A and B are shown apart, each in its own frame.
Chain A
Amino acid sequence: MTQLVWNGLFVGSFYALVALGYSMVYGIIKLLNFAHGDLYMLGAFSGFAVLSALGGVATAMTLPVLLAVLLMTMVSTGLAGVVLERVAYRPLRGAPRLSLLITAVGASFAIEYGMRIVAGPDPQVYPVRLSGTAIEVFGAWFTLQQLVLIGVAVVLMVGLNLLVTRTREGRAMRAIALDPRTSSLMGIDVNAVISRTFFIGSALAGAAGVMAGAYYGKIDFLMGFLIGLKAFTAAVIGGIGNISGTMLGGLVLGLLESFGTYWLGGEWRDVFAFGVLILFLTVRPTGLLGERVTERV
């Protein structure tokens, strides 16, 4: 039981990390960025490239090196997100929503099969593996590495939440989400803020990608596809566009999967997750913490 909760929270914090970028981008420009999962994949591969380049150093001191690699990957994946927005989405600002959506699907394929050309179709084995001795707490087994990964995820999420709710930049993001034209009249450089939003969201996905690579030990060019859909599910469960809702949604999805797997068997895991997505879309499309707009005109 405790083990199920722990597993759920662990997987859930990955989902939450990826879902946050999804949710932020949706929040600010109402775009379902279907290429977001592929940024997670890019993160895993750029972490892989850095680790391979480092060679022997990496295996010698796993955790600090991994954190450094994490940081570098976040920067490079963040930049990839900025380029994606600039090239694929900005020219379509103001175009019908459907055009953007189709472009996002196209961008997703472009990144996936672009990576296939670069890295080949076969899965790559991650040069570092996080497999430590397991510790038992309250009847659940987990490793120190898991704990560190969750810790990193939590720090990133708390930092993001502070950024969005407490800072001038976050206020500008929330303003653009509501009304980009009026935001520009406040002196906000709307395009620059949107770029930075993509940077942050993509960097978080990249971080999750490295963490997943190091944890599961294997990466391939299609690894972002399923996690992208899962992140979307998590965002919908929590309330897409809402930061704390999205974090909650990630954890809830992780827990649901963990328990669903236990009760129904592993082969039902994805069926269960997407069943929940459909349930939420029909019964409560605003999600658990979705915003209700109070407006008087």
Chain B
Amino acid sequence: MLEISDLDVHYDGVHALRGLSLTIAAHEIVALLGNNGAGKTTTLSAISGLVRPSGGKVVFEDKDITGLAAHKITSCGLVHCPEGRRIFSTLTVHDNLLLGGYLVRDQAEVRKRIDRVYDLLPRLAERRAQQGGTLSGGEQQMLAIGRALVTGPRLLLLDEPSMGLAPLVVAQVMELIADINASGTAVLLVEQNASAALKIAHRGYVLESGQGTLSGTADALRSDPRVVEAYLGGA
């Protein structure tokens, strides 16, 4: 469904991504692991059009989307849920969700999708009239994911959804991601919390200094001594 080949990204002289290749099949959760500064966020930004790659190719559902503007990529059904949640803080929860439905002309369809999000995340329904910025970190993450769902993604890019959340909340977020995937959406999950990510992922890639160094099924990665050493805290 998504095929990235030899992707290069430069930021003002910094070579942030060096020839990364990666594939995601329909209905898959793929984890992208790596330390700070390894290029995980850059990878997502290059896929979703926030950053223009300097080389390589991004093909989504047999369509070359390399270097396309971000809003056009979203309209293809490839949706990026950015790092740090990026809730529209002074808009209400409901307005945030409505913005997810910006591209959907049919208002009844938008309403249906938002209702589905409220069903999935009843906490958001309770707080629909509240400003997004007043929610707790976990709720904001749920809202960010809910907002992305309203756009109707076939592939969802999630950047560090567990960041700054308590372990119990991390578990809830991961469960939500697994549910979303079970209903047919493919997920590319970027995580520093490798153990949480590998629990729900089918496959994974490890990124170091802008290069893919390891890849395999989640089980294989979990038992790989190099992964255990570097990302799963020894054990």
- Enumerate chain A interface residues (CB-CB to B < 8 A): 168, 171-172, 174-175, 178-179, 181-190, 291, 293-297
Closest to A296 in B: B133
- A182 contact set on B, CB distance < 8 A: 82, 86, 88
Cβ-defined contact, A175 with B71, below 8 A: no
Separation in Å of the A93 CB from the closest CB of chain B? 14
Cβ-defined contact, B88 with A185, below 8 A: no
Given contacts A184-B71, A188-B71, 4 further A-B contacts (CB under 8 A): A168-B102, A185-B80, A186-B99, A187-B103
Cβ-defined contact, B86 with A175, below 8 A: no
A-B contact count (CB 8 A): 85
Interface string of B118-160 (1 = CB under 8 A from A): 0000000000000101111100100000010001000000000
CA distance A175 to B136 in the complex (A): 20
- Enumerate chain B interface residues (CB-CB to A < 8 A): 48-50, 69-71, 74-75, 79-82, 84, 86, 88-91, 95, 98-100, 102-103, 131, 133-137, 140, 147, 151
Q: Given A185-B48, A188-B71, do A293 and B95 touch, yes or no (CB 8 Å)? A: no
Cβ-defined contact, B89 with A185, below 8 A: no
- B137 contact set on A, CB distance < 8 A: 296-297
12 residue pairs bridging A and B, Cβ less than 8 Å apart = A174-B88, A182-B88, A184-B49, A184-B50, A184-B69, A185-B50, A187-B75, A189-B69, A190-B71, A291-B90, A296-B136, A296-B137
Instruction: Choose from B50, B70, B98 the contact partner of A171 (Cβ within 8 Å).
Output: B98
CA distance A181 to B71 in the complex (A): 10
Cβ-defined contact, B79 with A172, below 8 A: no
- B71 contact set on A, CB distance < 8 A: 184-190
- A179 contact set on B, CB distance < 8 A: 86, 88
Instruction: Choose from B70, B86, B133, B135 the contact partner of A293 (Cβ within 8 Å).
Output: B133
